[in-house]
Amino acid sequence: MIKNDLFLRALKGEIVDRPPVWMMRQAGRYLPEFMELKAKYDFFTRCQTPELASEITVQPIRRYGMDAAILFSDILVIPQAMNIEVEMKPNFGPYLPNPIKSPKDLDRVIIPNIEESLGYVLNAITMTKEKLQDEIPLIGFAGSPWTILCYCVEGQGSKSFDKARGFCFTQPEAAHQLLQKITDTTIAYLKAKVRAGVNAVQVFDSWGGMLSPVDYQEFSFQYIQQIVDALKDDAPVIVFGKGCWFALKEMAQSGASALGVDWTCSAQNARYLTGGNITLQGNFDPARLLSPPETIKKMVDQMIREFGKDKYVVNLGHGILPHIPVENARAFIDAVKEYTE
């Protein structure tokens, strides 16, 4: 039994004394102890070495005592396992030297055996669970199929992913074939993570907001729906679409346990668009963690009042930024833990 099950209770919509709190990208680059490991090991070495990944996962828990841990990994381990080369270039980000450009390129894309190709992630889960000793739940995650496609076609990060969108609009058949392969792999991957011990999963649709509402349904949400349908009986599923406020109504009917909200959508609008019956997660602007700690505390209190303490998980509206002072991150976490009505 998980000793602090506040996060899992909030996902079920139970009445709680205060909402749970964790931060997207909490295991990472704003922490000095993480930067020490970063100086010694390259990015994918950290992802692929269970001892390192599990250590990085628990670093923020030791320092701040969040109500949930999220496994240190990356959404791009999926294309790597699918036989699509992915590099992480320092001061540049993800780089895929052989992006998908045509239906012919899909011939080399495989649906892998998860235990063989991503066994290191499953081993990291086992090690992390040992370190956590059932104190708090562990979250596993994956990128949405659309977000993964964006990198596979664009070959790198982008502000607008024009190549990825162009691929979908000019070669829709190939796009759907690739999206289905990514979906099938992601379902198998998340199911393996649940079997390995994660207590909940989150699907990150980081680039969903690049699509129009109509195109979002065709190229993103129908594939997220497949993932939710496949996983919802195994573990709670959180869906987070950045910039996807327009899809919150459909998302609320998907069977997901919770929906992530970014900082451009107010608590009032998020509750209205989702019908007020589903747990919401978010939505503190990550850059607001640069504010003084006393301001952060006031803003967190206000945010909780606006969302309401029940059916709510306190989080950022996207991942924590690398240059956030550690004391400001602490102010954010402590404000939630000290919250009283």
Q: For position 165, which CATH number holds?
A: 3.20.20.210
327 falls within a domain: yes
- What are the DSSP E strand ranges found in the chain? 69-70, 87-89, 93-95, 138-143, 200-205, 237-241, 258-261, 279-284, 312-316
Positions of the chain with pLDDT under 70: none
Return mean pLDDT, the chain. 98
Q: How many domains does the chain have?
A: 1
27 annotated as a binding-site residue: yes
7 φ/ψ angles, rounded to the nearest 5 degrees: -60, -45
What is the span of the domain harbouring residue 21? 6-337
74 annotated as a binding-site residue: yes
b/e per residue, 300-334, with b = 16+ CB within 10 A? beebbeebebebbbbbbbbbbeeebeeebbebbbb
Q: What is the pLDDT of residue 341?
A: 86
Q: What is the pLDDT of residue 147?
A: 98
**Contact 127/51 with Cβ under 8 angstroms?**
yes
Q: What is the pLDDT of residue 55?
A: 98
28 annotated as a binding-site residue: yes
Q: What is the pLDDT of residue 192?
A: 98
pTM of the model as a whole? 0.98
151 annotated as a binding-site residue: yes
206 annotated as a binding-site residue: yes
1 falls within a domain: no
113 falls within a domain: yes
163 falls within a domain: yes
